[in-house]
């Protein structure tokens, strides 16, 4: 029960981080006219900041999933690698969506997801 409660709190922390950060920090920050124009536009700047901010929520949620799985018994290496593979795959979607693929981190995240998934199958 303790681990399940911890997992719930971790999940809610991630949810609060994304929602409150978007509402009270990012939106207000993006209203400023002096944002740097990375790669020629402030759209890339705001997209990058937004995906990096929300990426932390994904990490917290992956951690919550692992804690919840640990509450059910000992974790298997394969399962841990699969959770991290899923995290990396979802992480690849964020720069694809928020920067329309212009931030090339999606390539690294996708490669990581594939390598972890394939590696998990070998354990």
**Domain count along the chain:** 1
Are the C-beta atoms of residues 67 and 10 closer than 8 Å to each other? yes
What does the CA dihedral 44, 57, 66, 3 come to, rounded to 10 degrees?
A: 170
For residue 99, the enclosing domain spans 2-121
The pLDDT value given to residue 40: 86
Which CA distances in Å does 70 have to 6, 12, 59, 99?
A: 11, 18, 16, 35
pLDDT per position as a tens digit, 29-53? 999 989 999 888 899 999 999 999 9
User: So what's the pLDDT on residue 41?
Assistant: 87
Per residue in 76-109, pLDDT (tens digit) is: 999 999 999 999 999 999 999 999 999 999 999 9
Rounded to two decimals, what is the model's pTM? 0.89
């Amino acid at each position: 029960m303790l681990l399940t409660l911890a997992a719930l709190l971790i999940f809610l922390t991630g949810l609060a981080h994304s929602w409150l950060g978007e509402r009270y920090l990012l939106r207000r920050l993006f209203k400023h006219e002096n944002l740097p124009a990375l790669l020629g536009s402030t759209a890339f700047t705001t997209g990058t900041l937004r995906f990096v901010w929300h990426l932390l929520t994904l990490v917290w949620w992956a951690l919550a999933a692992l804690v919840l799985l640990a509450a059910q018994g000992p974790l298997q290496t394969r399962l841990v690698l699969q959770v991290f593979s899923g995290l990396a795959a979802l992480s690849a979607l964020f720069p694809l969506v928020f920067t329309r693929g212009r931030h090339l981190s999606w390539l690294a995240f996708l490669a990581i997801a594939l390598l972890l998934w394939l590696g998990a199958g070998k354990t």
